[in-house]
Each structure stands twice: as C-alpha cells, then as structure tokens.
Structure 1
C-alpha cells in the first residue's frame, strides 16, 4: 500500500516508517517543509502542517491507499477535528484505512481494576481532555465507508527515547533517580518497535470502527523504571518521590498529572484479533541493557 504518514519525522513515526517499508509498503511522509530527507527511506514527501488544516487539502490523492495519523494533537479541538475531516474525507466510500493515534491516558486512572480493556469507558486526564471526542470523530468515519481505526499506545520506550529517557536525564542532572506521584504508580508500556508492528497490523487488517490498546506490559511500577533509569545515569540509591507541586514546576501541571497517573491496561485484544506479538525487552530490561 501507499501510506500517507503524518508525524513521519518523529520518534514513533521514524520507527513506523521502517516497519512499513520492511513490509513492502510505500511511505508518503507529510512534513512541514520541503527539505529532502533521503536517509529516511520515504517513497515520497508532501508538505503540510497538521496545525493548519487548510494546508492538508489535496494531501490524500487517489493513489493514497491508507492514512496513518501520528502527528501530535494541536491542543485545539476544532483544529484537530478539521485535520480529521481533511484527511478522512477523500477516503470515504473506498474502504481504505485511516488509523488515528490516541493514547491510554484517555482512560484516566484505572484504580483497583486490573488490565482494563478497550471496552472501558474513557475518563481523560486534562492533558488529553478532548481526545475521546476526536476518537469518536474518527470512528464515525466507519459509517462513511472508511476503515477507521484508533490505536492507543501506552508509555512508549526503546531506541533511547520516550518518557523513560526523561527519567534518565533527570536522574543524571538531579544526582538521584526520581518518580512522580504515589509510590505504587504503574505505567502501561510498549516498545516503539512493538508499537510500530501494531500500526502495521492495524493498517493491514484491523476492522472498521475498532479501537486497540498498544500495550506490551500492562502495569510496570514506575519506581522500578526510575531505579533502572538511575543505574543508566550512573546514580545509585533508591528512587525518591517528587512532590506534586515540584513536579508541576518542572514539567507543567498537565504533564505532571500524566506522569503521576496510575494505570493497568491490557493489550490482549490486539494479540488475539490482530495476531500482534510484542516481544521486545520490557521497559526495565530495555533501560538496563538496551538503547539508553
């Protein structure tokens, strides 16, 4: 398939590009400027900016057989809705896939429930407050003949990037590993290459109107991630809890709330229905012996 990919230059987009091309697909990257980037292995490059929906007019040409929307949200619900409209409308009536990237933060804190699935109601924290509305807008395209799919990644790690890299940097600069929120906070996690394979499975065979959790490990104690980050940074000792007010000063209140969010989320549905097989090292193992 010829796949239009937004966010193609990003952390996840770079990995998704590699997995799509390895599977024989052609990636048409949507980028903010026309500067060529031949090393990325794209089939073609288009100029457009997802913060400016008008710039996307004509991006989904008749030869585009799928769209994967990986670019981060703008922070404006009207803008993001207009982006969905611009990218999905040309696919109507074709049965071609439109895969939208959301995230497990739309579920909010999962509390005592263990490994909540895709059927769980959304209860988004403020940083993703309107994201469920965008998910719904995407899924509504299924009634218009688009194979509309939503993927909700967990905390992404691997290749030296993602939020765990922040913990490594903080441990190095603060001289001690640290975590945020209560001692028992857990993160659902996924290796960036495993996640890329889920996007590949979604674009190839996920059903219209479906939602999938991209989660390899359902609930990793953040203290253990922080401890491993400290070892990577060459800092010994037990991780220290950082007070909420201090976290907000460093990261801003919205991201601080996300870092302190306790969740246990299942990725089992994609394993069963899409034959997704996440098999990379877990988050702690990757930190200790992998790319960081």
Structure 2
C-alpha cells in the first residue's frame, strides 16, 4: 500500500512508519514545509489548518491515510482537516485511520471501559468524541474508517513515562499527579505501531479500537520506577494538582490525575493483536521482576 501518514516524525508516528516500512508498505509523509523533508523521502506538503492542501495530498494513488498528528486544540480546524482528508476517500473503500485517546472516556471506576462505554471527556479532549463520530460516520460513504484510542504510550524513553523520568532526575524523587491509587491504561509504542498496521490491513469500516495492552498500571509505582530509571532508589511522592497545574497547565494536570481501567480486548479478538513488549515498570527499570 501507499500510505499517507500525518505526524510521521512524532513519537507514535515514527514507530508506525518504521512498522509499515518493515511490512513492505510505501510511506508518504505529510510535511508542513518542503525544507523539512529529508532528501529521497516521499512526502506531500500540507497542514492541518489548510484543508484544501490536505485534500490535494490524497491523490488517487494513495491507498490509505493514517492521521497520527497531534490535534490543534481548535475543534473547527480539526474537523475541517478531517473533512478535507476524507473527501477524496469517499466512495473508494480506501482506509482512513484516526488517532484519538482513552481520555475521552473520563474516569472509569473499577469496571474496565470498552469501546461501547459512553464517553465523558475531560477538558483537554472535550471535543474529540465529535471528531471520532465524524470519522466513523464516513463508513456510510464507503470509507474504511477506523478510530484508535491509545492508552498512555510508553517505551524507547519517550511518552509521559519518559517525562516522569525527567521529573525524577530534576527533583531527586519520582512524582505523580493525583491520588496514590490513580491508574493508567498503557501501551508500548511498538505494540501500538503493530495495532496501526493491523487496523490498516484488517479492520472493517466503522471500527473503534482501544490501543491498550495493560488495562491499569498504578501511577505511584510508575513514578517509583521512573525514579529508579533516573538513578534513584525508587522513591515517589504525590505532586498536588494546583502546583502541578502551574507548571504543566491545568488541562494536562487534570489528565495525569485521571483514574482509568480500560480494556483493549476488541483489538485482540477481532484483529489478532498480540502485544509483546515489556510492561511499563520493566521497561523503565530494566528489572524483569517488575
């Protein structure tokens, strides 16, 4: 397949590009500026704020589009971007995979949330369920539309756990926002990349998938592991929401304090997804006993 990828150089996107290339697909990157494209790299020029350029990038030889770019934070801009990308896919049966996230579910309680659980988005992703619906509704126009909601992504030193390691290094102790019993659904970036490949090649139109390999990971334990990763002894302390918000911004601090248990079973059952990477605590510390 020739696959147009938005966000190809970002944390998740770069892992997905590597996985697609390894599987024999031709990746065409969407870039804002031709000057930022490496020589001999297949690319199209476009920007989320320019839906006409996005439409032009989806030419007839593009077999699928993967939207892994970070949202702009402006609902009208993001909705127009999705509309532009979808316009030339309608009536063709070609694939469009959109990246959302589990924060649209809000706090879940102890019962694992699955893809049928109603959304209760927190502020940082407040409009995202409407974009999800825009994508999924394109299935009625013969677009093989898929939405993936990744959990908290970790691995290869990146993601929020990588940020937590930086905090531990800076402050001399692991830190976490929210109550001590806060839990996060998580997925290794390489396992997530494998899910994108499966979604691209196997998912039916109108499919919603949770990219979650670990339904709930104790955030306090993750902060302690981040401290060990930073060279400490595995100590962790709470970071109160108010001072955390002053540093990180209130929306992000709210997200970090969100307690969730989320199931990724549908991807396993329907697509044969098999996450194989170490769990987050092992990944951070290298301790196989974690």
Give the TM bin, normalised by the shorter chain.
over 0.9
Whether the 8 Å CA contact 2:55–2:88 is kept in 1: the answer is no
**1:223 equivalenced with 2:220 (yes/no):** yes
Q: Gapped runs of 5+ residues in structure 1?
A: none
Give the deviation of 1:236 after TM superposition: 2.4
Q: Corresponding residue for 2:184? A: 187
Segments of 5+ residues of structure 2 without an aligned counterpart are: none
Quote the Cα distance in structure 1 between the aligned partners of 2:231 and 2:156.
19
**C-alpha distance after superposition, 1:250-285 (max 9, x if no partner):** 100000000000000011110010000101001110
1:167-178 correspondence to structure 2 within 5 Å? 167-178=164-175
Report the equivalent of 2:87.
89
Secondary structure (helix, strand or coil) at the match of 2:34 reads: coil
For the residues of structure 2 that align with 1:52 and 1:227, how far apart are their CA atoms?
Answer: 43
Is it true that 1:273 corresponds to 2:270 in the alignment?
yes
Alignment of 1:8-87 (within 5 A): 8-35=8-35, 36-38=37-39, 42=41, 44-87=42-85
Matching residue of 1:104 = 102
What is the SS of the residue equivalent to 1:220? strand
Q: Give 1:237 deviation, angstroms.
A: 4.8
Equivalences for residues 179-258 of structure 1 within 5 A: 179-258=176-255
CA contact (8 A) 2:96 2:146 kept: yes
User: Which residue of structure 2 lines up, in the alignment, with residue 6 of structure 1?
Assistant: 6
State the 1:225 CA deviation.
0.7
CA contact 2:225–2:234 (8 Å) conserved in 1: no
Shift of 1:111: 1.2
- Counterpart of 1:127 (choices 106, 124, 131) is 124
Does the aligned pair in 2 maintain the 1:9–1:31 contact within 8 Å? no
Q: How many residues align?
A: 286
Q: Which residue of 2 aligns with 1:164?
A: 161
1:147 to 130, 144, 149: 144
Contact 2:55 2:87 in 1 (8 A): no
Q: Is the 8 A contact 1:167 1:226 kept in 2?
A: yes
Q: Is the contact between residue 153 and residue 188 of structure 2 (CA under 8 Å) also seen in structure 1? A: yes
